[in-house]
Structure 1
């Protein structure tokens, strides 16, 4: 079984597209996960990374170009798009009620 490490693939092929129908290794924060689907929603990625409840976190995607973009919970991330490097999570601050 061939596993495509998206971070490594992006480094070696900045404009290349990983093949569809493969198994992919994605990095979320400092941890790596192997998935056998071409795409996942932001919510699914957060749940995979054990960020529960998922809506207490923001998911960001870092691209090889250096761009960081927010991924919405229902947004589908296609792992076969070029330049995907890794994902980062940010805990959302809960605000206390005003007094």
Structure 2
């Protein structure tokens, strides 16, 4: 029997309800780059394969800065998600 070396958990939407956190992080990172407001629906419409894909869809001319800023805001806004979903220890 082979030993398990690692277990990877998906945090966003699986262990914790981080939808509002993700939306805020995208908004804070992208709006200053594209000089306009973006709605929750506009952000959510880009969700799919990756956070990088969302930045590419919303601010393709500022991809590197957008990804860097998103990761910064994602970390700094984590207090919005103080606990995991019910039943997750």
Give TM-score, length-normalised by structure 1. Answer: 0.25
Give TM-score, length-normalised by structure 2. Answer: 0.26
Choose between structure 1 and 2 for higher RCO, CA contacts under 8 A separated by at least 6 residues: 2
The structure with more strand, counted as a fraction of residues: 1
Task: Mark the structure with the bigger radius of gyration.
Answer: 2
